[in-house]
Chains A and B, each alone.
Chain A
């Protein structure tokens, strides 16, 4: 981090102007030399470059660009650079940064705009989505250029990411996941991070008083995110239960399966890939292995176990060979649920 000084006053942030904390600012050359020394010693794989807002967004952004540029050009730094763009930075600077960074991010922080304005008066969604758009455009243009010409420098090859704070506002998981899914529809958006809110002050009554950051909820959101990215779930399926929030006791994939007994059991020897993926206890890798292996023979429970299926969980939802082990419609969903939460506690 370049500096924890900041002229903005976002309620959820430790560095906000009205917090009384010691401030430190590193010079461009200090950041560069410490980074190189750490990198050579293999302490770090790369640099995560972020900063509080000093003077104005462009002034700050310009210093960050200089760090990235010096590392690449003067010191031949091959490591990973993740540059956290300052909300409201200009297109020119975002483009300059993109030439040196592997990944860039602009954080949404608060899922709904009204709540963002309420908690962070200097920000709005436009200040977030505009630079996101610059990055996207830069990456897409660069892709086209690289198709046509040979020596085009790369532009943010690892795409962009963003982060939402969970629990600082009363936004529901449905709101959060719907927004995530919209963000993932951007072709350059690689990851949405969810960060359980850690209390940063006790005086601001706009914020909830949390003793503990909501780690379980954060974990469930990551699982839901995973389902959207790799398991072909849609946001509205994940939260199609009675409550707009995720079940904290069981993971969202299991929760969906228990809400939809009509979809099970799945026949591992016949069902399409998409349905196999929906079986709790079968991951992406096992699903692929199943598809490959069943070309050679009918799979039984032992094969599944060897392939890496967690039979203990999956058994309620599938049939294989002659034996339908325990199926969900016979063992009622609420019984299965109790069984599984008992077996696995909170660990999903």
Chain B
């Protein structure tokens, strides 16, 4: 029999996590660990319970939460989920349980460690989304489409697309997550999720190949680099601050750092 030190395994989706919450009530088990399903591991491990994602169960937990906490907190929870770490999943799971277990509204009880962790994770994800908005660099292709390649730490592309749709209004763009191998294409009116073949040369090469570039692209890249160097005030350059504001991991995609 499973005891309260059990491990739950779920499919890594938010619905999966909510289903796990449902099951934990149903089975009267409070799991200590909640892991994402690892391909190839045995399904019949003794104290690992595999959660089957069920939209019905997830929906019930979600509606229960909607009654208990504000919209803002729901948003924090969903965002924090994107850190995709076991600790993050566990904290979120426990936070949800503590909300559902308690009679009062405990959403703002920040002496609760899980609440603090969930809030921290949410802030981390939002920070990454913000950096993506800042550091995506688009290149113009010969057909007029603008193309940006990124490797964000968390899966934040969906949070960012709207912003760029706003920016481009009537011209088209592609923004692509190389790490997760998918992206979004906007054609001037609609956004669609898309996937390149794994050997796409633009993705492998870290940007558009010369033959596909708009004829003015190199000119504007050079102009930007010149401008970027010109506005840096010699007396004020502070390499530590620069690395803080513009982490090295973005540099390969930054026009001004090449």
Residue numbers of A with Cβ under 8 A of B are 34, 37-43, 45, 76, 78-79, 198, 212-213, 215, 289, 292-297, 299, 303, 306-307
Chain B CB count within 10 A is highest, among A38, A39, A212, A289, for A289
In the bound complex, what is the Cα–Cα distance between A289 and B148 (angstroms)? 39
In the bound complex, what is the Cα–Cα distance between A205 and B132 (angstroms)? 47
Residues from chain B with Cβ under 8 Å of A38 in the complex: 220, 224
Contact of B167 among A37, A42, A215, A292 (CB under 8 A): A42
Q: Is there an interface contact between A78 and B110, defined as CB atoms closer than 8 Å?
A: no
Q: Is there an interface contact between B255 and A43, defined as CB atoms closer than 8 Å?
A: yes
In the complex, whether B233 has a CB less than 8 A from a CB of chain A is yes
The segment from B5-13, B74-82, B136-144 found at the interface with A is: B136-144
Residue numbers of B with Cβ under 8 A of A are 106, 108-113, 116, 134, 136-140, 146, 148, 164, 166-171, 216, 220, 223-224, 233, 235-236, 255-256
Residues from chain A with Cβ under 8 Å of B166 in the complex: 78
Query: Known contacts A40-B168, A43-B224, A198-B233; is A297 also within 8 Å of B111 by CB?
Result: yes
Residues from chain A with Cβ under 8 Å of B169 in the complex: 76, 78
Q: Is there an interface contact between A299 and B111, defined as CB atoms closer than 8 Å?
A: yes
In the bound complex, what is the Cα–Cα distance between A41 and B170 (angstroms)? 14
In the bound complex, what is the Cα–Cα distance between A188 and B175 (angstroms)? 37
In the bound complex, what is the Cα–Cα distance between A294 and B233 (angstroms)? 47
Q: Is there an interface contact between A215 and B137, defined as CB atoms closer than 8 Å?
A: no
Q: Is there an interface contact between A213 and B140, defined as CB atoms closer than 8 Å?
A: no
Q: Is there an interface contact between B111 and A41, defined as CB atoms closer than 8 Å?
A: no
A201: min CB distance to chain B, Å: 14
Residues from chain B with Cβ under 8 Å of A76 in the complex: 169-170
Q: Is there an interface contact between A34 and B233, defined as CB atoms closer than 8 Å?
A: no
Residues from chain B with Cβ under 8 Å of A293 in the complex: 108-111
Q: Is there an interface contact between A43 and B137, defined as CB atoms closer than 8 Å?
A: yes
Q: Is there an interface contact between B137 and A213, defined as CB atoms closer than 8 Å?
A: no
In the bound complex, what is the Cα–Cα distance between A79 and B168 (angstroms)? 11
In the bound complex, what is the Cα–Cα distance between A38 and B217 (angstroms)? 11
A84: min CB distance to chain B, Å: 15
B217: min CB distance to chain A, Å: 9
Contact of B111 among A42, A215, A296 (CB under 8 A): A296
Closest to B234 in A: A198
B140: min CB distance to chain A, Å: 7
A261: min CB distance to chain B, Å: 29
B223: min CB distance to chain A, Å: 7
Chain B CB count within 10 A is highest, among A43, A212, A292, A297, for A43
Q: Is there an interface contact between B108 and A292, defined as CB atoms closer than 8 Å?
A: yes
B238: min CB distance to chain A, Å: 9
Closest to A45 in B: B134
In the bound complex, what is the Cα–Cα distance between A294 and B169 (angstroms)? 48
* Apart from A38-B224, A295-B109, A297-B111, 5 more pairs, CB < 8 Å: A41-B146, A78-B166, A289-B110, A293-B108, A306-B111
B95: min CB distance to chain A, Å: 14
Residues from chain B with Cβ under 8 Å of A215 in the complex: 236
Closest to B146 in A: A40
Interchain Cβ contacts under 8 Å between A and B, 28 examples: A34-B223, A39-B167, A40-B168, A41-B139, A41-B146, A41-B224, A41-B255, A42-B137, A43-B137, A43-B224, A43-B255, A43-B256, A45-B134, A76-B170, A78-B167, A79-B167, A198-B235, A213-B236, A215-B236, A293-B108, A293-B109, A293-B111, A295-B108, A296-B109, A299-B111, A303-B111, A306-B116, A307-B110
Contact of B138 among A41, A198, A299 (CB under 8 A): A41
Closest to B164 in A: A42
In the bound complex, what is the Cα–Cα distance between A110 and B237 (angstroms)? 24
Q: Is there an interface contact between B236 and A40, defined as CB atoms closer than 8 Å?
A: no
Chain A CB count within 10 A is highest, among B111, B112, B138, B171, for B111
Query: Known contacts A76-B169, A79-B167, A292-B108; is A42 also within 8 Å of B138 by CB?
Result: yes
